[in-house]
Structure 1
């Protein structure tokens, strides 16, 4: 009888735990739905009441809810019509604007339609690993509210190639979808052959992606950043290019290389040497991933948490690196600029430093769904105010200014 009582008590405890979890999620969902309704009427309501309420939830829970809102397309549909000066070419396609969502938000290609509704010009999903994996233990995401920054150590949590592939195939089969979608490729934590993981990613996603990203710069998978070294990177990119050329379909799919902001100038020069070689070339760079530096947040109580730092503390570091890579490549390799973008002015800085396109993520956590429209409107106005006709005319125009800040 005592055993039965003990068993019943344990079961009751489990049920209470589930109810608590359900209560958290339900409360978050209610706040999100309320926010969506409020957004459609008044954006200020979202910023003042809803976003602070959502941020009371654990960071990863909020992230999951945001993905769900976009997945089921209950997020607001942007009414902003992109100005002509934001239209820009992208490897044979025309983007209505150069603002993309960075990898890390929609890891498993669940939310592409909803993200397009928000007004993004292009969407990057992933990071995707060949085999499904859980990533690092929780908690693994931390908000630094005062700095409007985030530290994450997700560790490539992914549902794997096949799950993401099926979603992208379904997306491509829809007549009403014509968005630009990139796939960010990673390696499994316990892989015996890191290069083979990337090669498999190219083979699987090359036919369905508008571009692919070789991500060797996350700080949250042991040994990953070592693949940015000269010889290892050359070997990796040669295999990637060989695989791409063997594709039956879309064999010219653009390949981007995503870089760490913690590289030295000598490291960058080595990378440029590699990507200028015909056998190991890339079509573009993404600058940059998150940083392990804590120079900008030394006073924060979360500064000692392991993981990559994103948001405003990364902004200057990534902008200077964009200028460096723009100069080292003679402006001949398109750059997607990432890191600390929260306004149109931030985006303009990245572009005049040398980025042809930009991506946001962390600011979306703090500013809410109107962020995309606000960035586009301000960026368009700045382009006109500075005397330019199109965003492409701005690329690299103030590179030397940012090089002087390094």
Structure 2
């Protein structure tokens, strides 16, 4: 499949990145409906990993952001991921930021996006999840939730609680996204006072939902790579204090040193792909040192090869997620990473 993707990639890279993204996913859906993906994709062999009471079929997952609305669940699952995370979804639909809002930096194997949580709203996403074969068959599906852009930051917790309420029944786990750089002031939620208030309200809401549904769903937090050690340690301590089950490290970066002088290198938004790898791994190592195995870390950011995935595990992650690497390497990256992480 990687040879086929290498042939397709130059053509896709001639298109606007967002147009290419949507076209690729539409064609992936078509191939899945026609039964072609099973013939074209080499899937990883089973390598079950159990964390937070969840059994992941292999340790390589899809990161949030690629399928914001849950429109492509079954076709993405057919690529061999051990788990999928969809979203970010918000309580109400919103268009996101003005276009163009996604840019490739091929020299750096990177992407800059300022999408702004564009999505159809949480209710539409939940309905799509229920219709998916992957979910109906018990596939591991995380729901990544955020706040609407129009909601003041001081009221952010109310949006997260509304979104959690909506996804709780259908999500295998729920990820709280407080680290996107593309919603104004969102990263302020990583500060001690605001994060403590948010986690307290989420903890209360989860207890209420657990009583209602008879199950306590795992809750994950996704953090930024642009944090100093003091803030990372503070977040780690609050994760333990409020019973958060895992941490996803990391989101995109606002740093631009590695792409200075490149075309689109100064575009605003979050930088992902190879340039974020080192910063992501540094955060993982810092979390690992502070948490001391009290809760697991999911590593994401800059995985372009199986060796990169292995580096995340060596830094302290238990699972990994892919996004930008798929744009540059294609679907075979899933199997390559799964092979690199398979225990002998």
Q: Please classify the TM superposition score into its range, dividing by the shorter chain length.
A: over 0.9
Q: Using CA pairs under 8 Å that are at least 6 residues apart, name the structure with larger relative contact order, 1 or 2.
A: 2
Partner deviation per Cα, 1:342-375 (whole Å, 9 max, x = no partner): 1111111101111010001001111112221222
- The alignment status of 1:332 with 2:290, answered yes or no, reads no
Q: 1:53 aligns with which of 11, 17, 21?
A: 11
Aligned: 1:264 with 2:223 = no
- The offset of 1:173, in angstroms, is 9.3
Aligned length, in residue pairs: 335
Q: What secondary structure does 1:124 align onto? A: strand
Deviation per CA, 1:19-61: give whole Å up to 9, x if none.
xxxxxxxxxxxxxxxxxxxx4xxx41331x2111111111000
C-alpha change, 1:172 and 1:281, in structure 2 (3 Å) is: farther
Which stretch of structure 1 is more off in the superposition, 187-196 or 147-156?
A: 187-196
Q: For the structure 1 residues 304 and 242, does the alpha-carbon distance in structure 2 shift closer, same or farther, using more than 3 Å as the test?
A: same
Aligned-pair Cα RMSD in Å: 1.6
Displacement, 1:81?
A: 4.5
Q: What do residues 106-137 of structure 1 show as CA deviations (whole Å, max 9, x unaligned)?
A: 00001111111000000000000110000000
Please say if residues 44 and 335 of structure 2, whose CA atoms lie closer than 8 Å, have aligned partners that are also in contact: no
Q: Which of 1 and 2 has greater Rg?
A: 1
326, 332, 337: which one aligns with 1:375 = 337
Q: 1:136 is matched with which residue?
A: 97
In the other structure, the counterpart of 2:140 is 180
Counterparts of 1:186 and 1:70, CA distance in 2: 27
Alpha-carbon distance in 2 for matches of 1:369, 1:287: 22
- Aligned partner of 1:303 in structure 2 is 265
- Cross-structure match for 2:107: 146
Q: Is the 8 A contact 2:309 2:340 kept in 1?
A: no
Which residue matches 1:101?
62
**What SS does the corresponding residue of 2:284 show, helix, strand or coil?**
helix
Report the Cα distance in structure 2 between the residues aligned to 1:113 and 1:313, rounded to whole angstroms: 30
Correspondence list, 1:190-339, <5 A:
190-192=150-152, 193-247=155-209, 248-249=212-213, 251-277=215-241, 280-339=242-301
Task: Verify the 8 A CA contact 2:221 2:247 in the aligned structure 1.
Answer: yes
1:174 Cα deviation after fit: 6.8
- Give the drift of 1:71: 3.6
- Pair 1:355 & 2:314 matched: no
Question: What TM-score do the two structures reach when normalised by structure 1?
Answer: 0.79
**Separation in 1, partners of 2:229, 2:291:** 13
Compute the TM-score of the two structures, normalised by the length of structure 2: 0.93
